[in-house]
Chain A
Amino acid sequence: DAGVIQSPRHEVTEMGQEVTLRCKPISGHNSLFWYRQTMMRGLELLIYFNNNVPIDDSGMPEDRFSAKMPNASFSTLKIQPSEPRDSAVYFCASSLIYEQYFGPGTRLTVT
C-alpha cells in the first residue's frame, strides 16, 4: 500500500518566490495534517483538515502561508512570498482514527 506521498522532496528557491508543496494522503484517511520541523522549534503543527475542511489553522505562522484541500486525495501548502526563515522540513501526515502516518517530507531551502 502506498503511504503518504509528498512532492517535491527537495526545493531550493530564492527569497520572494512562491513555493507550493503537495501532499497525497493515504486512501481512506479522513484527516490531513501539515507540520514544520526546524532545529530551533522542533515539530510544529501548521494546519489540519478533517473531511477536507480546515479545522485548526492556528499554527500557520502568518498570512504568507495558505493551505487547501480541494478533495480527499490532495492538499497543498503554499508560501508566498517565501523568506529564508521558512527554510525547514515540511511534513504532511494523514490519519483515520488515532495514529498519524507521515510522508517523507519536503526539505525547503530559501536563499
Chain B
Amino acid sequence: AQKITQTQPGMFVQEKEAVTLDCTYDTSDPSYGLFWYKQPSSGEMIFLIYQGSYDQQNATEGRYSLNFQKARKSANLVISASQLGDSAMYFCAINAGGTSYGKLTFGQGTILTVHP
C-alpha cells in the first residue's frame, strides 16, 4: 500500500516570495509516480507537476518545481514568486506500479494563503 503524509495543515507566504510545501511518501514499489494538484476554493482539481521515481532530474513546470529526494522519500513542491492566485489547497499524491498502477493515493492537503 502507498501512503502520503503532508504535515503542514496551513502555510502562509508573502506575495512574490517562494514557498515550499512538504510531502513525504511511503511505498514498497520501486516504480512509482509523484504528483501535485491544486484545489482552489472553486473546487476543481488542477494537475501541477509529475515526478517519476526513475527520473534523474527534478521536475519543473513554470513557477512550480518538485524537490525530489528519493533516499528521504520526500517530494516537496516549491512555488517561486508566489501570486495571490496561488492561494488554494495543495495535494500531494502517489501512484505505484504493479496491480495498483494508475491508482492515486492522496495526502490530506496543505492550505496555502498568499498575503499581498
Contact check, A43 vs B50: say whether CB atoms are below 8 A apart.
Answer: no
A12 within 8 A of B: no
- With a CB–CB cut-off of 8 A, which chain A residues contact B103? 45, 48, 56
CB distance from B60 to the nearest CB of A (A): 15
Contact check, B102 vs A105: say whether CB atoms are below 8 A apart.
Answer: no
- With a CB–CB cut-off of 8 A, which chain B residues contact A95? 102
- With a CB–CB cut-off of 8 A, which chain A residues contact B85? none
Distance A56 CA – B103 CA, assembled complex (angstroms): 8
Q: Indicate which residue in B35, B91, B102 contacts A48 across the interface (CB closer than 8 Å).
A: B102
Residue of A nearest to B99 (CB): A56
Contact check, B104 vs A100: say whether CB atoms are below 8 A apart.
Answer: yes
Encode A75-99 as 1/0 by CB contact (under 8 A) with B: 0000000000000010101010011
Contact check, B43 vs A89: say whether CB atoms are below 8 A apart.
Answer: yes
A42 within 8 A of B: yes
Contact check, B44 vs A105: say whether CB atoms are below 8 A apart.
Answer: yes
Q: Indicate which residue in B37, B44, B102 contacts A55 across the interface (CB closer than 8 Å).
A: B102
- With a CB–CB cut-off of 8 A, which chain A residues contact B108? 42
Encode B29-71 as 1/0 by CB contact (under 8 A) with A: 0000101010000011111001010000000000000000000
Distance A101 CA – B103 CA, assembled complex (angstroms): 13
Given that A42-B109, A99-B50 are contacting pairs, would A33 and B43 also be in contact in the complex, using a CB cutoff of 8 Å? no
15 contacts between A and B (CB under 8 A): A31-B102, A33-B104, A48-B103, A55-B102, A56-B100, A89-B43, A98-B52, A98-B95, A99-B35, A102-B37, A102-B46, A104-B43, A105-B43, A105-B45, A107-B43
Which 6 pairs, one residue from A and one from B, show the smallest C-beta to C-beta distance?
A: A102-B45, A43-B106, A99-B47, A99-B50, A104-B44, A98-B33
